[in-house]
């Protein structure tokens, strides 16, 4: 790929870098327990949690497995499990 003038790059291109590979703990969301409060989405530093079809889902492409969502979930609906590699 050709380099750009002054190293100026298009915004939003980090989506091409999947940080999910950094994960060794995987958050697993139990939809049965979820109260749809949105806390997990709000506290994720990696923008990995989204409301999809009216349910909160964790996107494993970018989730680094920090565990913040699990710790903050008021319903204990997210469990951290060891990632199988």
Partner 1 sequence: MQETEVLEGSEAVAFAVKACRPQVISAYPISPQTHIVEALARMIADGEMDSEYVRVESEFSAASVISGASAAGSRSYTASSSQGLLLMTEVLYASAGMRLPFVITGVNRAISVPISIQVDHQDTISLRDSGVIQFYVESSQEAYDTHIAAFKIAEDPGILLPVSVCMDGWILTHSYERVSFLEQEEVDRFLPPFKPKNFLDVNDPKSWGSYAEEDVLMEFKYSIHRAMQYGKERIKEIFSELATITGRDHGGLIEAYRTRDAEVILVAMGSMVGTIKEAIDKLRSQGQRVGLIKIRCYRPFPFEDILDNIKVAKVVAVMDANFSMGSEGALGMDLKAKLCGRRGAPLVLDCVAGLGGREVNEKRVLEIVERAREVEESGLPLDEPYWAGLRPEILPEGAENDRQGKIG
Partner 2 sequence: MIAKEKSGEQELFVSGHRACHGCGMALSVGHILKATGKDVIVVTPTGCLETFTSPYGYSPWRVPWIHHLFENGPSIASGVAAALKAQGRIHVRVLVIGGDGATFDIGFGALSGMLERGDDVLYICVDNGAYMNTGGQRSGASPMYSSTTTDPAGKISPGKSQMKKDLPAIIAAHGAPYVATASVAYLKDLEKKVKKAMEYHGPRYIQIDTPCPSVWGFSPDRTLEIGRLGVQSGLIPIIEMQGGMLTNVLKIKKKIPVEEYLKSQKRFSHLFRDGQHQKEIEKIQALADINIQKYGLLKDVEDKR
Which residues are near partner 2 by CB under 8 A? 1, 7, 9-19, 22, 36, 38, 42-48, 50-54, 59, 61-62, 64-68, 70-72, 80
Residue 77 contacts which entry, partner 2, ligand SF4, partner 1, none (Cβ below 5-8 A, type-dependent) = ligand SF4
Alpha carbons 7 and 23: distance in angstroms, whole number: 30
The reply to whether 20 sits near ligand SF4 by the rule CB under 6 A is no
Site for ligand SF4, rule CB under 6 A: 27, 29, 34-40, 44, 46, 48-49, 56, 58, 63-69, 73, 75, 77-78
């Amino acid at each position: 790929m050709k380099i750009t003038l002054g190293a100026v790059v298009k915004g939003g291109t980090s989506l091409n870098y999947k940080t999910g590979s950094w994960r060794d703990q995987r958050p697993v969301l139990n939809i049965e327990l979820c109260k749809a409060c949105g806390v997990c989405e709000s506290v994720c530093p990696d923008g990995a949690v989204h409301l999809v079809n009216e349910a909160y889902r964790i996107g494993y492409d970018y989730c680094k497995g920090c565990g913040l969502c699990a710790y903050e979930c008021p319903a204990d609906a997210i469990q951290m499990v060891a990632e199988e590699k």
